[in-house]
Amino acid sequence: MAAPHPTKEGFTYTPGKGLKAGLDTEGAIRPLSSHAAKKDARPFDTIVVGAGYTGLVAARDLTLAGRSVLIVDARDRIGGRTWTSQVDGEKFEMGGTWIHWCMGYVWREIQRYGLDQRLHVTPNKSFPDYFFNKTNFNGNVYQEPFETNFQMCEDAFKRFCDVDGQGGATVVPIPTQVVKGVLVNEELVKKYDQYSIADRIAEVRAKNICSERELSFLIPWFVLSWGARPENASLLELIKWARHGENSFSFLAQILWCYRLLDGQSHLARNIFEEARRTERLCWSLETRVSSIIDRNGSVEVVTDKGSFKALKVVSTLPQNVAAKVRFDPPLSPLKQEAFSIKHVGQGHKIHSFFNKPELRSGVWNAWHENPEKTYELAAAFGDHTMRDGRVSVVAFGGGNSKKLLPSHDPSKIPTWLADIDPIFAETYSGSIWHEWINDEFAEGHWNMHPPNYYTRFHTELQKPHGNVEFASADWADAWKSFVDGAIEQGTRAAYRINQELQSRPGSARL
């Protein structure tokens, strides 16, 4: 395991020591660069813009195929929206976290590096009196034993997502094929792409499909999952999620927040990076901002603040919310430009907090108020793990949060935000750690969640190459879109397409 190094990203806060910026991570690569830009240098086979999972997998697969690759990334670490911080020997996932064997791409990767035997399980029954699901919904508080609550949510979730009398199966027959595929009904998909989750909530209430008690647990779950208010979140996206989980709330919950890597996501990312580096065909340049990508005369020039780099092909892994910051020459298609001008709605906090109360390890809490003037900053929290010193780490998520109210502006408010979920969180609070994704200039949001009327308009276009530039990102993956698995899917595909094309080009570069 590589030693951690400091990164400029992330925050820690304790009432005694105050706020501190910057955290250690195994994803911090040193030196930051292995290659100096030279305009007259022989071009690489491929330049990969972005060192998240998509870029890392693309780079590894291409170098293993004998291709020369340069990775450029604006951050001082690899991992993109998925990275693991280390504080006093404890690991905390700052972005993407949970994995499951139903996610075939990521499961293949952890087996490749022997990490499938090193998993941490989030649910815990060590404290039976606290093994419950509790919600504060519109000011009404409900609490139920975990098994009882999950059976209720299981039944309610099936009814909520059953928009067609067949559990959404006519809308999304195969969850990896939403807008294109042999079984896709384009008119039906387009119909449900117009709906928000709030539209479905209104319909469910009008038809008495779910009780208010059931909705009091489901709606906060939607908010934490999307990082958005229900009126801004796509119903089609929810139907796709439900179909991934066979319309089972408990199975989907297991997939989404049960199993995580004991050694951290940055350890997996580092394994991918090191395998590529060992080929001696990989170069990298971190803390390198890309300003433009110019595709002329059969090669591509990537212009950065560290100079220009040239390649036969480029993989752009820029997230949807920041892709418009880079100038493309020739210009992107009008449809792609429009797609990048529309921000996805994943705008939520993720905050790890520490408590001197071991019982908090077992609980799950939710909070949401449908009145926008009374909305809580955090929508859900659950015990994540017991730390070496006996304290418990609880991870909390927000939804529809604003840059105007960031944790770093006044971290002393974090215990108050947690107390809105349950007053118990104010009793033994001792500190927090987080990454402010909604204020991250290289992401401008966390995992990608579409607004209504986006999927059918842009998904296919976003996957199309632009000349010698491949666009690959978890933001438009076919399977687990916005997940680590989706990122690996996209990197795998991009590398395969590029290698196939370069095989027909004699004399491609070698290091």
Same domain, 459 and 494: yes
Q: Is 415 part of any domain? A: no
Q: At what angle do helices 265-278 and 104-112 cross, to 10 degrees?
A: 70
Stretch 416-433: mean pLDDT: 96
**What is the tens place of the pLDDT at every residue in 352-389?**
999 999 999 999 999 999 999 888 999 999 999 999 99
Stretch 144-158: mean pLDDT: 96
Q: Is 456 part of any domain? A: yes
pLDDT at 41 over 70: no
pLDDT at 511 over 60: no
**What is the tens place of the pLDDT at every residue in 339-351?**
999 999 999 999 9
**What is the tens place of the pLDDT at every residue in 75-129?**
999 999 999 999 999 999 999 999 999 999 999 999 999 999 999 999 888 899 8
CB 482 within 8 A of CB 447: yes
Burial of 506 (0-12, 13-18, 19+ CB in 10 A): exposed
Q: Is 409 part of any domain? A: no
Q: Is 359 part of any domain? A: no
Show the domain range for 299: 32-84+264-344+450-502
Q: DSSP per residue over 423-437, as a string?
A: GGGGTSEEEEEE--G
Stretch 330-334: mean pLDDT: 98
Same domain, 332 and 457: yes
Report the SS3 class of residue 290. Answer: strand
Same domain, 220 and 154: yes
Give me 268's structure tokens.
């997996």
Stretch 255-266: mean pLDDT: 96
pLDDT at 40 over 60: no
Q: Is 182 annotated as a binding residue?
A: no
For residue 307, what are the CA distances in angstroms to 36, 290, 292, 325? Answer: 8, 9, 11, 17
Q: DSSP per residue over 165-224, as a string?
A: SSTTTTT-SBTTBSSSSTT--HHHHHHHHT-BHHHHHHHHHHTT-S-HHHHHHHHHHHHH
pTM given for the model: 0.97
pLDDT at 38 over 60: no
pLDDT at 132 over 90: yes
pLDDT at 399 over 50: yes
**What is the tens place of the pLDDT at every residue in 471-495?**
999 999 999 999 999 999 999 999 9
Question: For the chain, how many structural domains are there in total?
Answer: 2
Stretch 422-442: mean pLDDT: 96
Q: Is 54 annotated as a binding residue?
A: yes
Q: Is 461 part of any domain? A: yes
Same domain, 150 and 243: yes
**What is the tens place of the pLDDT at every residue in 101-111?**
999 999 999 99
Q: Is 398 part of any domain? A: no
Residue 466's pLDDT is 98
Integer Cα distance of 227 and 390 in angstroms: 30
Q: How far is CA 10 from the centre of its chain?
A: 16
Q: Is 382 annotated as a binding residue?
A: no
